[in-house]
Copies of this chain bind each other. A is one copy, B any other.
């Protein structure tokens, strides 16, 4: 079985996830600029989540490009990733609704962590199915990013109860880590 339909389905789900988040930005009833003010945290959490979902789509796109055939295990590992990604709009909406308070920010970190773990799991299952493809192995060899991310999320969960902005800063830092082209990051980390 080839990867076309897996990619198409994943694209569909990710496209819907990234777009339905905008439904959480409820149209304000007033018509003044002040009516927009309570939407600022909603909008900021939307931007962060949009970037995160965009990163996952990008990575999924690059990774699946190297995969030539899929089996039941890969399909389910992929659905598992999509499941955790699908909870991002919920956590994003909750952060926005409560103006960046502790529990929602911690939950957001938990869901991001589960997305990260699900992605790593998917990558390992793909590797185990495809054996020692040097290109795939190289892609996974660079997985220090994945480990750094999970550590950051894991720290962000308790830190949200100290100050949710520390956790937000960690999420932004992880997003930057993934957003910047690999080579620059590698030079920074070397």
A contact residues vs B (CB 8 Å cutoff) = 1, 5, 7-9, 11-20, 22-25, 27-33, 35-36, 47, 50, 54, 57-58, 61-62, 65, 72, 75-76, 79, 82-83, 86-87, 89-90, 93-94, 97-98, 101-104, 107, 179, 181
Contact = CB atoms under 8 A, between A and B. Distances in A.
B103 A31 contact: yes
How often does this chain occur in the complex, in copies? Answer: 4
Closest 9 CB pairs of A and B: A12-B15, A31-B98, A27-B93, A16-B19, A31-B101, A54-B79, A13-B15, A9-B11, A27-B94
A168 B97 CA distance: 31
A54 B27 contact: no
Contacts of A20: 16, 19-20, 22-23
Nearest to A106: B33
Nearest to A30: B98
A86 B18 contact: yes
Nearest to A22: B86
A32 B160 CA distance: 12
A158 B87 CA distance: 33
Task: Tell me which of A19, A57, A79 has the highest count of chain B C-beta atoms within 10 A of its own C-beta.
Answer: A19
Contacts of A58: 72, 75-76, 79
A93 B25 CA distance: 11
A103 B90 CA distance: 27
Contacts of A61: 1, 5, 9, 75
